[in-house]
A and B are shown apart, each in its own frame.
Chain A
């Protein structure tokens, strides 16, 4: 069974009370293998353990819920009028609903120059801001990812051309694009804003995805896929894309706050949405004229923007860490 040659011979034959893998009862430990955690589980664990990210996640959820259920949450309609320029915490007294009786209406965040309740306007504004952000995200994500994958996968001339376009587009920040689109379309409006910002942020996604694809491209399962004759398109969609999903998600989460800020900027300049669409940026801009008398008209929407953008950033950061984190890290004490 075992030959006489070689110093290692003889190993492996069971010659003791316990063979390989066997041990006395009291030492038997449960298999300390790391449980497989699905991506979702790992993410949740990562976020819950990171206080900042958790705070961000909670606020994001609140924001989305507020936007979704705005009509049910807002205390008043966004066009309803009460007392003018009431300070936060004040009441308006008067007959506002035309029923002959005077009411007292409480305004936690005050009212603006038209008498609108700011809290209600903010809540409805959340809805519009979120929708605009999501729409711009849809554009930049799809186009940007498409460009990135093609550039990364094919390399060579395709890559050069696409990256040249990306560089070129970078010379047109959303501001300029906003101006251009307004000039061409002839007016303000949500669609313009969405297109302008959507195009402006294509390069972020394109560069990110291209980078990912460049590294994925060298992986062996890609070579294997090609070897069995998988078509290019299939490889890109079925093999590469799923593995690049994590950075896409992180980038998307970090894009939303950028989109909100960009829309706010455009609306603030008067190049954004029509004056009737109550985005937070517009609300901020409308308060500008009254800054010395009624600072809250601008500051409230500004704070709202700040809190939501902050939350998305913290959450996105936490996501990024959660995706990269390795199990069983050494504690720092």
Chain B
């Protein structure tokens, strides 16, 4: 497993608040192999964005990582200095955010925002000192520079028409879909090993969503990048991801190959998620999961989903459920009642199984 691009082990991230300590990420393990698109699915409040920020090292203070490790190609990110992490951020490891409208700086031309990334992480021989950057800002970027040239190439790669002309435009002159493409261009400009995409299509129209997803998959091939795709939209994950992790209340509850996981969800939460998603191809009534996502402060019971789970037993509250194989090819679920060798059996004899 050492050629994995990203290894997250036992990650725990906490935020002190006036009401107590919020544990947004509570002991998460995650792995991403080269060339994979891995999905991270969960509702709001599940901690998926905090997980992404933890990996990038941009968790907002006073939040901090209190436990665990994060390794990029085997190198521990948490043991590096901030300067070393800043070198990696945007270079080998990059991220795009949900809201393209607000994720680009309104006072800098789009091309400049991309060129800046290139300057920081690629060897193009251009200074990134404060005076140099300010000069570029005030006088306009030099159009002859290597970084500018490459920025235009990137805009072309994400299929923005008239890239050279558009590079001098400001974000408000781009449409929503184009802005997201520009963000993707910026994130991929340094050929990262891993791209984290946090809800990249949520703020976009449905038709544009499809385009962006295609863009991402295509670029993954072209740039040889792995992608961590974070979303609450099951359909998006089912479409694009090789493997999926399902996250609830700070924990990963189920993971496995996308196709299998959606065909045969095992963890009660995953089953609930799917049951609560309206489908066009069945007459199933949509069944919501009762209850609310828990307050992440000091959860006293073991399995975070237990209070809302229709199958919970006493042990579920007492014993931390380990991951057990529930299918082929690495399909695992963290539930005491699942797996080939469940520790607890179901009470009612008439168990409905899906074939």
Contact = CB atoms under 8 A, between A and B. Distances in A.
Contact of B275 (A9, A15, A329): A9
B351 interface: yes
Contact of A20 (B309, B316, B347): B309
Given A3-B284, A8-B271, A10-B271, A332 B313 contact: no
A23 interface: yes
A48 to B, nearest CB: 14
Contacts of A16: 309-313, 316, 337, 346-347
A11 B310 contact: yes
A247 to B, nearest CB: 24
A135 B141 CA distance: 56
Interface in A5-28: 5-24, 27
Contacts of B120: none
A328 interface: yes
B328 to A, nearest CB: 15
Interface string B254-269: 0000000011110010
Given A6-B284, A15-B347, A23-B317, 10 more contacts: A6-B274, A8-B272, A8-B277, A9-B284, A11-B310, A15-B311, A16-B346, A20-B291, A23-B306, A331-B17
Contacts of B17: 328-331
A171 B314 CA distance: 75
Given A18-B312, A23-B317, A8 B265 contact: yes
B289 interface: yes
A11 B307 contact: no
Contact of B310 (A3, A8, A15, A328): A15
16 contacts: A7-B354, A8-B276, A11-B272, A12-B310, A13-B310, A13-B352, A16-B313, A16-B346, A18-B309, A19-B312, A20-B289, A21-B290, A23-B301, A329-B18, A330-B15, A330-B16
Interface in B264-296: 264-265, 268, 271-277, 279, 282-284, 287, 289-291, 295
In order of increasing CB-CB distance, the 4 nearest A-B pairs are: A8-B275, A8-B274, A16-B311, A20-B290
A301 B346 CA distance: 82
Contacts of B352: 2, 4, 9-10, 13
A8 B49 CA distance: 26
Contacts of B314: 17-18, 24
A283 B48 CA distance: 64
A110 B310 CA distance: 80
A238 interface: no
A7 B313 contact: no
Most buried by A among B264, B310, B314, B351: B310
A16 B312 CA distance: 5
A55 to B, nearest CB: 22
A7 B295 contact: no
A23 B312 CA distance: 8
A157 interface: no
B2 interface: no
A7 B265 CA distance: 6
A21 B307 contact: yes
A255 B175 CA distance: 42
A32 interface: yes
Nearest to B16: A331
A331 B271 CA distance: 37
Interface of A: 2-24, 27, 29, 32, 328-333
Contacts of A333: 16, 62
Interface of B: 15-19, 62-63, 262-265, 268, 271-277, 279, 282-284, 287, 289-291, 295, 300-301, 306-314, 316-317, 337, 346-348, 351-352, 354-355
A21 to B, nearest CB: 6
A16 to B, nearest CB: 4
A208 B255 CA distance: 52
B262 A7 contact: yes
A14 B317 contact: no
Contact of A17 (B262, B283, B312): B312
Contacts of B355: 4
B264 A7 contact: yes
B291 A11 contact: no
A331 B284 CA distance: 46
Contacts of B300: 27, 29
A15 B348 contact: yes
Nearest to B261: A7
Most buried by B among A7, A17, A19, A27: A7
A37 to B, nearest CB: 15
A19 B291 CA distance: 11
B308 A20 contact: yes
Contact of B301 (A3, A11, A27, A331): A27
B336 to A, nearest CB: 10
A15 B346 contact: yes
Contacts of B279: 6
A2 B354 CA distance: 11
Contacts of A3: 283-284
A332 B62 contact: yes
Contacts of A19: 310, 312
Nearest to B301: A27
A6 B284 CA distance: 8
